[in-house]
Amino acid sequence: MAHAIAKYVRVSPRKARLLIEAIRGQYVPEAIAFLRFSPQRAARPILKVVQSAAANAVFLAERDGGSIDEEALKIVHAVVDEGPRLKRYRPRAMGRAYPIIKPTCHIRVEVQEVPRPQPAGRRSRRGGGTALTAPTSES
C-alpha cells in the first residue's frame, strides 16, 4: 500500500471533502479522469496527490523487485483533515477591523493494487438457452 500527503493546501476542507468522497473507492485512472475535468478549484491539488500516490506505488513495487499494474491501483483510503486557519484582518469604517479566515487542509490518499473484477459474460436478449416446451401427454 502506498500513500501521498499534501499539507497546508489553501482550499477549504469542506469543499475538498466533496471531491474526495466522489473518488474514494475508485480505480486511479477513473479518478484521474474525473478530477481532470472537474471544475472545482480543489480538484487540482487532489489530482496531484492521487498521481503522486500512484507513482509511489510503482516506485515501491520496483524497489522491492516486483511490478505493478497501474490500471489495477484502487483508492482504498482518502481523507481531508483541517489544517491551520490563516487569520487576516480587513480594515473597516470607524477604525474597526473585520477578521478574514482563510482555511487550509491536509489531503491524504492511499492506493493499493486490487485486481479488477472480470465482467460477467454477456447474455443474449433472445434467451438463446433452453426453451420451455409444453408438456406432452403420452398414454
Integer angstrom CA distances of residue 82 from 24, 91, 107: 18, 27, 9
Across the strands, what pairs with 87? 101
DSSP annotation of 95: G
128 inside domain: no
Q: Does residue 64 lie within any of the structural domains?
A: yes
Task: Report whether pLDDT(128) > 80.
Answer: no
In a domain, 133, yes or no: no
Domain assignment present for 84: yes
Count of domains for the chain: 1
DSSP 8-state secondary structure symbol assigned to residue 72: G
pLDDT tens-digit readout, 80-125: 999 999 999 999 999 999 999 999 999 999 999 988 888 776 665 6
Q: Does 126 reside within a domain?
A: no
Residue 92: which CATH number? 3.90.470.10
Whether 119 is in a domain gets the answer: no
Residue type, 89: Y
For 54-65, what is each residue's pLDDT tens digit?
Answer: 999 999 999 998
pTM of the model: 0.81
Q: 105: domain range?
A: 2-113
